[in-house]
Structure 1
């Protein structure tokens, strides 16, 4: 898909797996987290037993707040994780069951995106010959890239979004993700009860490929980092009387601090029409990513691509006409990749 073909970095192939891979269970996210934690200074072979420790820990932690981690009616393995959480079995029993049942499908399916395998593999399946997986040079190189730490935040955010969609029942088309500006969180509602889902920064960063939406400078998700991204309203908040649902995910982007509040920053200006086209491209990544951002964008902006593009154009023009905004566009700090 064009997400990583237009910018074929290892980070974006990995993001392709996390953001666009088909989800029938959350095991892919648990495997990704387990791989983040493996010892990268030793052998490239990771046994299933070693992988099972962080893999099962992350699943058990998520089960505590989100009991639905699979789309099928039941799972013998997840029942074992629940038994561990309830204190009914030991950790040794949990690890033994994880080795036997936990990796049955996820290792085979991990690299599959849009019914095909991505061009860059991060591990090889050697369960039959060595009872584990063998990390490739791609994975070791990925772990040395500046964006690697961001991937941990992005993976957990995506996991939180998917499990919330399952909890709400996506078949009912009730999934709507909203933004709390004060707390910088995405949230939703179940039976009129607000449920906080995840950090807005962590959720958006992968779709922007770890770069400022406006200038393509590298941004960070690490709290306290000097390059920590700002969450920005593309059409400024001042236009909230002219633009419905201005807090919608469709209008939220991540910006570097220079673009958002620097000397030559955006402030209350309206981004240029070229940047509006970029917003449409970014929102289409949400649509391709399926639940729950797909449903959210469709509900907010339209079922068809042309409807979504017209929605953005109409609101951009309304803000420009009624507020007499000056248009703004920063100097590029990196190559545009969407």
Structure 2
């Protein structure tokens, strides 16, 4: 995929797994969270007994608010997790069942994206020889990367989006993911009832590879961090009378505070046409990512690539008449999308 081939860093290979891997169950997300948490100061061998504790805990927590964690009709392992949540099973029995049943598919499929394995492996399957997995140097180096602290936020946001799509049944009812600017949340409606899904920042960050949309300066998802990203309307809010659905996901990007509201920042000016092409490329990542962002972008901007591109250009031209002034950022990093 051009997502990580254009910028082949370890964090972007990892994001390829989280954002673009095929999901028939949520185990891949639980596996990622387990790997974030597992003690990596000792041996590179992680036994299934060690891995089962955080893996099962994350699944049990998500089952409390999202009972559908798999696309098939049922799972004996997930039934065990539900029993534990209902105090019908001990923690020791949950861990034993997780070791026996929980990793049957996720270890084999973790590195698969678009029907093929990514070039960088983060662990090796050693279940038959050492009853666990062995972390590779890639995973340890990943933990040293500047973007590592953002990955857990991104993983949980993607998990929340996928399980919401499963809950709504996207094959029958396209999910309209909407933006609440006051609370910086993505939400949808279920039977006329609003359902908050996840943080907008956490959802968008991975698709921008952890960088400001405009200048490519690294950004953060950690509350209180001086580099905390702003959620910005690419076509400014000032053009809302000329541009329908200006709050749509198609028009939301993450920006550093300097680009969004600094002295030389964008403010109410319209980003240049070169940046419009970048927005199109970012939105196409949403298409590749499948549900529910795929469905949302299709619903908001069109079913075909050319239609989506024309949608952006038409709205950009309409906003240009209203805003007049064009803005270009000062590059702070190398363009990666």
Taking structure 2 as the reference length, what is the TM-score of the superposition?
1.00
CA displacement at 1:174 relative to structure 2: 2.4
CA displacement at 1:40 relative to structure 2: 1.4
Counterpart contact for 2:270–2:323, Cα < 8 Å = no
Distance 1:280 1:116 in 2: 26
Partner of 1:223: 223
**Structure 1 residue 191 corresponds to structure 2 residue 191:** yes
CA displacement at 1:172 relative to structure 2: 1.2
Alignment of 1:251-270 (within 5 A): 251-270=251-270
Question: Deviation digits for residues 147-191 of structure 1, max 9, x if unmatched?
Answer: 101000000000000000000001113211000000000000100
Distance 1:266 1:324 in 2: 12
**Structure 1 residue 273 corresponds to structure 2 residue 277:** no
Alignment of 1:1-338 (within 5 A): 1-321=1-321, 323-338=322-337
CA displacement at 1:325 relative to structure 2: 2.5
Distance 1:296 1:85 in 2: 33
Taking structure 1 as the reference length, what is the TM-score of the superposition?
0.99
CA displacement at 1:337 relative to structure 2: 1.1
Question: Deviation digits for residues 93-125 of structure 1, max 9, x if unmatched?
Answer: 000000000000000000000000000000000
Runs of 4 or more consecutive aligned structure 1 residues displaced over 4 Å after TM superposition: none
Query: 2:8 aligns to what SS in structure 1?
Result: coil
CA displacement at 1:146 relative to structure 2: 1.0
Distance 2:148 2:87 in 1: 35
> How many residues are aligned here?
337
Gaps of 5+ in 2: none
Distance 1:78 1:173 in 2: 25
Query: 1:188 aligns to what SS in structure 2?
Result: strand
Counterpart contact for 1:173–1:295, Cα < 8 Å = no
Gaps of 5+ in 1: none
**RMSD (Å) for aligned C-alpha atoms:** 0.5
Question: Deviation digits for residues 190-215 of structure 1, max 9, x if unmatched?
Answer: 00000000000000000000000000
Distance 1:330 1:195 in 2: 36
Question: Deviation digits for residues 213-271 of structure 1, max 9, x if unmatched?
Answer: 00000000000000000000000001111100000000000000000011100000000
Counterpart contact for 2:160–2:198, Cα < 8 Å = yes
Counterpart contact for 1:188–1:196, Cα < 8 Å = yes
CA displacement at 1:279 relative to structure 2: 0.1
